[in-house]
Amino acid sequence: MTVLVSQLFTGVSIGAVLLLIALGLSLTFGQMGVINMAHGEFIMAGAYTVYVLQKVISDAGFSLLVALPVAFAVAGLMGVLLEFLLIRRLYARPLDTLLVTWGVSLILQQLARDIFGAPNVQTSAPDFLTGNIKITDDLVLSNNRLFILTLAVLAVVALTLGLRFTSLGRRIRAVVQNRDLAAVSGIPTGRVDRLTFFIGSGLAGVAGVALTLLGPIGPTMGTNVIIDAFLVVVAGGIGHLKGSVIVAFALGTLQSLVEYSTTVSVAKVLVFVAIVAFLQWRPQGLFTLRTRSLA
């Protein structure tokens, strides 16, 4: 029983990481209908932000907290730049955007290699995150996993409230639901796109900060996690955050439970099979926007 509970907790914390990574992606994918392959490199940028800040501020705990907003801004600005320079020109060609942003991600990876060196770097974890919380003798929850879970929940709550109650959120929803109608209603869709990209990419930066607690920082760290995040977005459906939330936690739990009974590699393959099977049932993802368009 405790094994099951502790595997479930592992699953939830895998899900929290997935969710943090996928949240920004789901926002930008829903907004523009484009897949941003460079999203993984924005995560990397967030992680390197922690590394740089720790060089300046030696206190690990303080620098981590400072890194959250700074990484958000750094990754967000990179996203805005990408949107402004390339993505808005490829507006009607989503598949081409995918390839173009892949090219951008190659360039960013090499930039990271040239600036920080090819080997992985490590940051020191703050004291308040190194411990564990013991619930029973068998069930131990590590503090950094709990921190990431809190971060993911906070991000979801902030994004949900922001989309529902602020005027920017209303505009974003309007553009997602019907871009042309939003435009003729006087919403500056271009500016809304750019702001959405800022927030979505900024969330990638926050995810990067969280990933520094789990492993080393390296030029290819984004590529390693991005595919799982794409699968979350595809299976969750676009235009709704709750789809991504449910799918992220479901996939995390599934992976942790299968991993327990088989191996990591078999678990990854089974998760893929599960997603293809799931898309048989819901080809557009868990939640979809009901529109009249055929495509």
Q: Residue 30 Cβ, how far from another protein at the closest point, in Å?
A: 12
Q: Is 167 in the site for another protein (CB under 8 A)?
A: no
Give the interface segment with another protein, choosing from 93-101, 163-171, 190-198, 244-252 (CB under 8 A). 93-101
Nearest to 235 by CA among 29, 9, 16, 11: 29
Applying CB under 8 A, which of residues 215, 242, 266, 291 lies at the interface with another protein? 266
Query: How far is residue 273 from each of residues 227, 237, 269, 279, 288, measured CA to CA in Å?
Result: 14, 17, 6, 10, 21
Q: Is 106 in the site for another protein (CB under 8 A)?
A: yes
Q: Smaller CB distance to another protein: residue 53 or 231?
A: 231
3-state secondary structure of 33: coil
Q: Residue 17 Cβ, how far from another protein at the closest point, in Å?
A: 17
CA dihedral 207, 45, 176, 30 (to 10 degrees): -60
As a whole number of angstroms, the distance between CA 10 and CA 4 comes to 10
Q: Is 279 in the site for another protein (CB under 8 A)?
A: yes
Query: How far is residue 108 from each of residues 38, 43, 102, 221, measured CA to CA in Å?
Result: 8, 11, 10, 12
Q: Smaller CB distance to another protein: residue 67 or 182?
A: 182
Q: Residue 75 Cβ, how far from another protein at the closest point, in Å?
A: 18
As a whole number of angstroms, the distance between CA 225 and CA 237 comes to 19
CA dihedral 279, 31, 36, 237 (to 10 degrees): -10
Q: Smaller CB distance to another protein: residue 8 or 86?
A: 86
Query: How far is residue 86 from each of residues 38, 83, 108, 246, measured CA to CA in Å?
Result: 12, 6, 15, 32
As a whole number of angstroms, the distance between CA 122 and CA 116 comes to 12
Nearest to 28 by CA among 67, 107, 82, 71: 82
Q: Residue 103 Cβ, how far from another protein at the closest point, in Å?
A: 3
Under rule CB under 8 A, how many of the chain's residues touch another protein? Answer: 44
Q: Is 127 in the site for another protein (CB under 8 A)?
A: no
Give the interface segment with another protein, choosing from 47-55, 70-78, 204-212, 268-276 (CB under 8 A). 268-276
Binders in 9-68 for another protein, by CB under 8 A: 29, 33-35
Give the interface segment with another protein, choosing from 10-18, 43-51, 102-110, 195-203 (CB under 8 A). 102-110
Q: Are 178 and 6 in contact (CB under 8 A)?
A: no
| Residue 230: alpha-carbon gap to chain centroid | 9
Binders in 172-231 for another protein, by CB under 8 A: 223, 227, 230-231
Please give the residue ranges that form the binding site for another protein (CB under 8 A): 29, 33-35, 86, 89-90, 92-96, 98-100, 102-107, 109-110, 113-114, 223, 227, 230-231, 234, 263-266, 268-269, 272, 275-276, 279-280, 283, 294-295
